[in-house]
A and B are shown apart, each in its own frame.
Chain A
Amino acid sequence: MPPLAQRNLFHDKVRLAVTLTGIVFSVVLIVVQLGLFVGFTSATSNLIDHSNADLWITSKNVPYIEQGVAFSERKLNQARAVPGVADAEKIIVHWTGWKRHDGGQESVQIVGVNVDSPLERPWNLVAGRVEDLKSPDAVILDELYKQKLGVTALGETFEVGGHRARVVGFTHGIRSFTTSPYVFTTFKNAQDYSAMREDQTLFILVKVAPGASVEQARRDLLAHLKDVEVYTAGEFSRMTTFYWMFTTGAGVAVLIAAVLGLVVGFVVVAQTIYATTMDHIREYGTLKAMGAPNSYVYRVIMKQAAISAVIGYVLGMIVSVFVVRASQEGGAAIVMPMPMAAGMFFLTLLMCVGAALVSINKVTRIDPAMVFKG
């Protein structure tokens, strides 16, 4: 086919710029919103997804990890005695106050773990070692929150929950969905920072023996332990994510923004391709008069839409990569996994092709006799 589609598209450079701007805006907005959604989703269940536990034991009616209710730590030994359980450990995840040197107060989430257990440990350390948590009052936090918590160097001490805390390490990339950063410490310290009794815990992590059924172990734990719930790690992760993303409406808000981005892109592309089609309506009438079937004319318009989509996608992705990189140092990370980037291409194509349908409808109804009107 002679390059009619391309030539018509590039003929009006201003209109092409408007079309591409609309597509780029749409692509970037969708990537940012979906990237935030993915980032938020990951952040909400970070601790659960990075644990090595198969099962989480909680008090009854605990809908998400930040809403733990204390129960007797004696259940730990009961859990360990259940057939199929290879290992179990207590863990605390609880809000408390962090006092900065300037007197300001920040909310943090204390994560109290058994440092010697692989079931839950801080990860991605960039300074210090996990074992340093065994030293008195030791805490590890993410470098992203240093400024927020007033931390400038390792070894600094702060007041947490009315107790002393000494910074012994930094992680990278451990984000909290809420504004309260995770602060890792030992289980004992966590009890102090959270003002919990010594015989209490908030959760128990369970590792199932190799070859044993997770579901069976879960049923057995429920049979042996009273007044608790037992969730698989996946279940508890989904529950926590669902609460933060949908029950609070945060996730819905970003998804709505993503849909709006799609609508804006659709409308801009539809309008500009329609305007281009109207500018060339006589040519399409001539094509039909010459004997071109409607499908030939459709191909010309669809080709314009596809070319716009490809160029707009490439430009949009370039901008998006910069935005994603810039967000890594911020509180809300925008995540763009490869499948999402690939999916965006098809979404952009679909958006542009769908927008072209408005023009398709128009050219279908062209009266070829119009070519005789001077």
Chain B
Amino acid sequence: MQAAIAVRELTKKYEEGATGTLALRGVDLDVHAGELLMLIGPSGSGKTTLLSIMGCILTASSGSVHIAGREVSTLREKELPAVRLANIGFVFQGFNLFPTLTAGENVELMLDLKGISGIPAKKRAAELLDQVGLGEKYGSFPNDLSGGQKQRVAIARALAGDPKIILADEPTAALDSHTGKGVMDMMSELAHKRGRAVVIVTHDSRVMSFADRMVKIEDGVVARPAEAGPVPAGLLVHNVEQTGRSLA
């Protein structure tokens, strides 16, 4: 089965003055539809950089990135927004909702980017908010919502583009356990019931049990199993040496 995201020999170097920082070094990784993958690792290990490259927000210094079977690492920067719009939905730690738009309008904004506006957009936005349990909050502004509700609006917005891939950066970091669990339930549903490829960067040990697979990034490389540390039972930790390739 073709991977939703396929990364090969990925390297990212940040040029800073006379020296540079190698954020990623030769990363290989596949993510499949229907899978919930978690990227874990200490701060500064390169998790967010990897997520950004998979999300076509950053370009790699070398290596290849395939999104839904299409090579994107050779695309010019101005071609990347279209790839993101067609394939990827983002969920951010800080929710990143537009505070002057209502919950419904936040979702409509994504639909507008997809060329859907007017009554059809309002209808679809209402459906999406319903799906995340916030149908009655259509006209509420983000300031009037709780953290969990904001994140669910963000998920609804991410889904509005009908993406094959959901990338989430610390989606539960700003939430309490109960609320975080609710958000993770939704992420799990997106992967297992709706067939999306879901990649989550997280430090939150409370939510790791939701992962189908965990990949530990350390100093820009995928960690060897011996260095991965204890992991919850039943989880498979991806290791480039052990399996050579991502799960089929």
Contacts and interface: CB of A to CB of B under 8 A. Distances in A.
Given A1-B112, A288-B81, A289-B84, 15 more contacts: A2-B109, A283-B98, A286-B92, A286-B98, A290-B90, A290-B161, A291-B85, A291-B86, A291-B113, A292-B81, A292-B113, A294-B78, A371-B92, A371-B96, A372-B92
Contacts of B86: 291
A290 B113 contact: yes
A2 B92 contact: no
Contacts of B110: 290
Contacts of A374: 93-94, 170, 173
A291 B161 contact: yes
Interface in A287-306: 287-294, 296
Contacts of B161: 290-291
Nearest to A7: B100
26 contacts: A2-B106, A2-B108, A2-B109, A3-B105, A8-B100, A11-B99, A282-B96, A283-B98, A286-B92, A289-B55, A290-B90, A290-B110, A290-B113, A291-B86, A291-B88, A292-B81, A292-B85, A292-B113, A293-B78, A293-B82, A296-B113, A369-B52, A371-B90, A371-B96, A372-B52, A374-B93
Given A3-B105, A372-B169, A291 B92 contact: no
Pick the most buried of A4, A291, A296: most chain B CB atoms within 10 A of its CB: A291
A17 to B, nearest CB: 17
A296 B117 CA distance: 14
Interface of B: 48, 51-52, 55, 57-58, 78, 81-86, 88, 90, 92-94, 96, 98-101, 105-106, 108-110, 112-113, 117, 157, 161, 169-170, 173
A117 to B, nearest CB: 70
Contacts of A2: 101, 105-106, 108-109, 112
Given A2-B112, A289-B57, A372 B98 contact: no
A259 B93 CA distance: 48
A69 B188 CA distance: 99
Interface of A: 1-4, 7-8, 11, 282-283, 286-294, 296, 368-369, 371-372, 374
Given A7-B100, A374-B170, A1 B85 contact: no
Contacts of A296: 113
B84 A290 contact: yes
Sort A-B residue pairs by CB-CB distance and give the 7 closest, nearest first. A291-B85, A7-B100, A291-B84, A2-B105, A286-B96, A368-B57, A291-B81
A296 B112 CA distance: 10
Nearest to A286: B96
A2 to B, nearest CB: 4
A282 B142 CA distance: 15
Nearest to A288: B81
A283 B96 CA distance: 7
Nearest to B98: A283
A287 to B, nearest CB: 8
B66 to A, nearest CB: 18
A369 B77 CA distance: 13
A4 B52 contact: no
Given A1-B112, A2-B112, A369-B52, A293 B58 contact: no
A112 to B, nearest CB: 70
Contacts of B105: 2-3
Contacts of A368: 57
Nearest to B88: A291
Given A369-B52, A371-B96, A372-B169, A289 B90 contact: yes
Contacts of A371: 57, 90, 92, 96
A372 B100 contact: no
B79 to A, nearest CB: 10
A2 B101 CA distance: 8
Contacts of A7: 100-101
A4 B84 contact: no
A374 B109 CA distance: 22
A290 B92 contact: no
B116 to A, nearest CB: 11
B231 to A, nearest CB: 25
Contacts of B113: 290-292, 296
Nearest to B96: A286
A3 B90 contact: no
Contacts of A372: 48, 51-52, 57, 92-93, 169
A291 B163 CA distance: 11
A296 B55 CA distance: 20
Contacts of A286: 92, 96, 98
Nearest to A2: B105
A9 to B, nearest CB: 9
Contacts of A4: 98, 100-101, 109
A297 to B, nearest CB: 10
Contacts of B99: 11
Contacts of B57: 289, 368-369, 371-372
